[in-house]
């Protein structure tokens, strides 16, 4: 590859094989192709425009080997910094350039990041049910698929639909095991609306974990996602109530915009805490890390500036003994998932990896080489990220407007979800 290689073209590909994805495809003058994930669930076209109209013209003829310089050029040169749209766009460029560099070197990306620190990345699956019996069946099914750690979500008595529960009836009554933004019908697509009752949730969840522990014993790692729905003191109450059931983590217990809110939760419970899937920059974490207010970093490579920025964030977390728990639902494309897995394999402070298998249609568009075996994920030894984009297949799945649901309290107030 030499010391310099010119970027010849950059293309933004939007496709919707069951859900919407935005992919940046960079090609160098010597024909090496790199892919980056720029998907921002429910706001995909904003990132596509940012890339197509503002970033791609800046990439042409730049040296593809200058990854750090390009990252700083795009971040600082825009003046308007941070935010999910900007950081997803930068992430796509950064990840694509790492893909190119690793392919040119003839190595899987994790080798360029320092080599493997483990044989595979422990993954957790998403088990859910409208009630406890259905949840227990879902856990059994995930264990049969090889998962060694399980996220537990359940319906709440009195609520017709709860985000994160696959059997939820909102949005047309379909199962949504892969938690997509729901597609509406008619000329104008609007988000589905779900009702929420925090007090009912706080009463119910400890009884769910009691039933799960009685059925599956003390050894199975169990996780739970609060989806930002609690105030700090409510989250502290839940964390305390869940201590007898030894959770691997309680995720997104309260909205993360106020980092100091985690101080109150930490004062009242020893349940491990994870947060960060809606964060997009290291500065979202500085208080949380330096005061050890969390145990796991939940950002996605796709939304946090790419491989370059995510590696720096996780290295900073390691200084404080905090581990990774990279965000990995199916609104992260296989490109973004592969990037996460290469980091998982290389970093010292790996904790766990979220994993939801993509649909057959998605895997027709994105040809992957990573694998899930015996509860562990491995990015494969294919040079680069190990994912290729079938542009012809992508063209068969046009974009469709879709949005995440909106939560409302009984009085009609819009609530966090």
Residue 314 CB contacts under 8 Å (≥ 6 apart), including other chains = 297, 324, 343, 347, 349
Cα–Cα separations (whole angstroms), residue 221 to 61, 94, 135, 213? 49, 34, 15, 10
Domain limits at 15? 6-109
* pLDDT the model gives residue 397: 97
Model pLDDT for residues 344-386, shown as the tens digit of each residue: 999 999 999 999 999 999 999 999 999 999 999 999 999 999 9
Residue 162: the pLDDT is 84
Is residue 173 one of the residues assigned to a domain? yes
Contact indicator for 300, 328 with CB cutoff of 8 Å:
yes
Q: Is residue 391 part of a domain?
A: no
Average pLDDT (285-298) is: 97
Is 160 in the same domain as 55?
Answer: no
CATH, residue 28: 3.30.390.10
How far is residue 310's CA from residue 282's CA, in Å, rounded to a whole number?
8
pLDDT confidence of residue 178: 54
Tokens encoding 377: 């994920």
Whether 180 has a pLDDT exceeding 80, the answer reads no
Note the pLDDT of residue 184.
63
Q: What is the dihedral of CA 274, 276, 278, 284, to 10 degrees?
A: 140
Domain count, the chain: 2
For residue 82, CA distances in Å to 46, 161, 193, 324 come to 14, 33, 29, 21
pLDDT of 158 reads 87
Token reading at 294: 């969390």
Tell me, what's the pLDDT at 161? 77
Tens digit of each residue's pLDDT (9 = 90 or more) over 131-147: 999 999 999 999 999 99
Is 400 inside any structural domain? Answer: no
Does 173 have pLDDT greater than 60? Answer: no
Residues 199 and 132 in one domain: yes
172, pLDDT greater than 80: no
Residue 412 lies in a domain: no
With respect to residue 408, please indicate whether it lies within any of the assigned structural domains.
Answer: no
Instruction: At 277, give phi and psi (nearest 5°).
Output: -65, -20
Annotated catalytic residues are 163, 227
Q: Mean pLDDT, to the nearest integer, of 8-28?
A: 97
Same domain, 26 and 101: yes
Residue 319 reports pLDDT greater than 80:
yes
How much is the average pLDDT of 57-84?
Answer: 96
Quickly count: other Cβ atoms within 10 Å of residue 83's Cβ: 12
């Amino acid at each position: 590859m030499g010391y310099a290689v010119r970027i010849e073209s950059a293309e933004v590909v939007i496709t919707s094989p069951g859900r919407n994805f935005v992919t940046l495809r960079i090609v160098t003058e010597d024909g090496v192709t790199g892919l980056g994930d720029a998907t921002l669930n429910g706001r995909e076209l904003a990132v596509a425009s940012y890339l197509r109209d503002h970033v791609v013209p800046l990439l042409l003829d730049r040296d593809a080997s200058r990854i750090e310089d390009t990252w700083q050029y795009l971040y600082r040169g825009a003046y308007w910094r941070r935010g999910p749209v900007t950081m997803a766009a930068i992430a796509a460029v950064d990840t694509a350039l790492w893909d190119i560099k690793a392919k040119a070197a003839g190595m899987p990306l994790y080798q360029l990041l320092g080599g493997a620190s483990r044989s595979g990345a422990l993954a957790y699956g998403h088990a859910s049910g409208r009630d406890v019996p259905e949840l227990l069946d879902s856990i059994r099914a995930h264990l049969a698929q090889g998962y060694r750690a399980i996220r537990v979500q359940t319906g709440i008595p009195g609520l017709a639909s709860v985000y994160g529960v696959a059997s939820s009836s909102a949005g047309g009554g379909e199962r949504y095991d892969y938690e997509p933004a729901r597609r509406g019908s008619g000329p104008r697509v609007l988000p589905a609306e779900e009702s929420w009752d925090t007090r009912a949730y706080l009463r119910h969840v400890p009884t769910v974990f009691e039933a799960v522990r009685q059925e599956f014993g003390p050894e199975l790692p169990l996780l739970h996602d609060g989806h930002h729905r609690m105030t700090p003191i409510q989250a502290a109450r839940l964390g305390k109530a869940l201590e007898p059931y030894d959770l691997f983590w309680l995720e997104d217990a309260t909205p993360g915009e106020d980092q100091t809110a985690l101080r109150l939760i930490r004062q009242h419970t020893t349940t491990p805490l994870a947060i960060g899937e809606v964060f997009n920059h290291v500065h979202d974490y500085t208080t949380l890390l330096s005061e050890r207010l969390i145990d796991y970093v939940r950002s996605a490579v796709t939304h946090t500036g790419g491989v370059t920025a995510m590696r720096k964030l996780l290295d900073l977390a390691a200084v404080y003994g905090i581990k990774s728990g990279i965000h990995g639902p199916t609104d992260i494309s296989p490109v973004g998932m592969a990037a996460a897995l290469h980091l998982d394999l290389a970093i010292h402070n790996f904790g766990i990896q979220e994993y939801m298998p993509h649909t057959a249609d998605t895997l027709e568009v994105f040809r992957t080489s990573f694998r899930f075996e015996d509860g562990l994920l491995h990015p494969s030894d294919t040079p680069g990220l190990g994912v290729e984009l079938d542009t012809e297949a992508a063209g068969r799945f046009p974009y469709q407007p879709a949005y995440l649901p909106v939560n409302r309290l009984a009085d009609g107030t819009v609530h966090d979800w």
